[in-house]
Structure 1
């Protein structure tokens, strides 16, 4: 097993329920840190580790922390996580590995856990194996924003029946397949799906079929044309963002959408006027007050902010909006 040498500076709250550790290179082994103490480890429920150098997370490091509920390992230069590294942590509900150097997520990495919230943001993830999130039946929230993911696979979520929040903002995704969560029948909750700031050009007509969305954000992509029934196949979409794409004229049916924003696209002026006069039909009473938001003229100037080494890539922000409402 790989050994690590660090000086631990840890703060323990009353009754050892929480430990906050910052590690700096020295001569004290990681596994002899305060949260490995026999008296303490069985009482900890929250561990936050920052600024350590842990290139690989193994099962040995945390296997005896059976009562921990929240584990945060951030800014620790983590490059890989071995399979089943968190096996046996039955009480673990929240896991954060953000701001590290992960490049891939292997199959069954998180098997044997009851994790509800998983944050893998701000890494360098390019590849996720097909069942990387397999057997995560309690997973409700997954954050993968600010990475380098190019290909979206619906098989990732075949065995995550309770997933209700998925954030893939600021990646390199170019297309969305049918049945984005790879589940037949009706999903168990209203979904928040954030796909802003990617490179999406193609969306399958069945991508959102039979799902109910609280948020569906497809803004700041490269979408030019959408299939006519791509949104009407869904049960309901409360908030849809299509702004800052490359749509010139044609929009799909919006009968299941309550509120949507299509501003800052490459609108043809004549088409825009025709769209203003077009009556929007709705399928539910709640959606009968559909709000349409446009921005004209359709400026698309993009300004990159300063680069930060923890980001998967640059973040882009558009010029402050000049709105017209119809």
Structure 2
């Protein structure tokens, strides 16, 4: 982290000044030409505070060599304005407990295109205001409980998820978009989506789904779009959607030899578009 502070001081400003109060206030911070393997946000925040950079809104650590985000201690962070962190395209393999605990004001976190295969229990501690989480294109096989009450968008596309345990999403009471495209899910179990009452869009396309259990969609009464295309579904029962009174778009194309009962389209209240 000394390397970061040194580089930030020497390269990010047009001139070197002894008095940090004379430095311009930056809103976006991107670290170029730095090789970092381990990152600690508490330490970083201390250095930025020393440089009087307390107005940072966006920090970009994308396309680096980061392998580890160190667990943090609760810290009275000075970066109250920090809203977005981009850690995409690194080599992060797992997320440990409390690795983001000092980042309570962050609203967007991009962790796509890493090597993450494990989400340790408590990894999301401290992200109390997070609204957007991108975990696309990793190696995640199992989803642990995600305690993010403010989260509105969760992207888990292109992982290796086969099963989602009961109540894993139950605490995501504000979630509006959930995307699980291109995983290895074979079965939609009855309790898989418990608690997702505010969900409006559910993407399950390009999995291996052949079974959808009864009542799995019952709690998601605000769903407007469901994509089940390119799976292995042979039969879709109309009663699966009986509580989805505002469902507008249902995508079922790409399921070979799938059979639908007569008048399927007309029996789903308010359905406007059906792709088969």
Report the TM range for the smaller structure's normalisation.
0.7 to 0.9
Alpha-carbon distance in 1 for matches of 2:166, 2:207: 18
Instruction: For structure 1, list consecutive stretches of 5 or more residues without a partner in the other structure.
Output: 7-27, 295-326
The counterpart of 2:120, out of the listed 121, 126, 129, is 129
Alpha-carbon distance in 1 for matches of 2:44, 2:216: 46
> Residues 281 and 232 of structure 1: is their aligned pair in 2 closer, same or farther, counting only changes over 3 Å?
farther
Alpha-carbon distance in 1 for matches of 2:30, 2:190: 43
Alpha-carbon distance in 2 for matches of 1:290, 1:232: 20
CA contact (8 A) 1:122 1:146 kept: yes
Please state whether the residue corresponding to 1:47 is helix, strand or coil: strand
The answer to whether 1:293 aligns with 2:275 is: yes
Alpha-carbon distance in 2 for matches of 1:276, 1:172: 36
Alignment coverage as a number of residue pairs: 257
Instruction: For structure 2, list consecutive stretches of 5 or more residues without a partner in the other structure.
Output: 49-53
CA contact (8 A) 1:177 1:203 kept: no
Alpha-carbon distance in 2 for matches of 1:29, 1:245: 52
CA contact (8 A) 1:254 1:281 kept: no
Q: TM-score, normalised by structure 2?
A: 0.83
CA displacement 1:225-261 (0-9 Å, x = unmatched): 1012111232221110000001112346112033210
Match of 1:229?
215
The counterpart of 2:10, out of the listed 19, 29, 33, is 33
Matches within 5 A, 1:150-189: 150-153=141-144, 155=145, 157-158=146-147, 160-183=148-171, 187=173, 189=174
Please state whether the residue corresponding to 2:47 is helix, strand or coil: coil
Alpha-carbon distance in 2 for matches of 1:45, 1:84: 23
CA contact (8 A) 2:156 2:179 kept: yes
> Residues 240 and 51 of structure 1: is their aligned pair in 2 closer, same or farther, counting only changes over 3 Å?
farther
Instruction: Kindly state the Cα deviation for residue 102 of structure 1 after the two structures are TM-superposed.
Output: 0.4
The answer to whether 1:74 aligns with 2:65 is: no
Alpha-carbon distance in 2 for matches of 1:260, 1:279: 9
Instruction: Kindly state the Cα deviation for residue 134 of structure 1 after the two structures are TM-superposed.
Output: 1.6
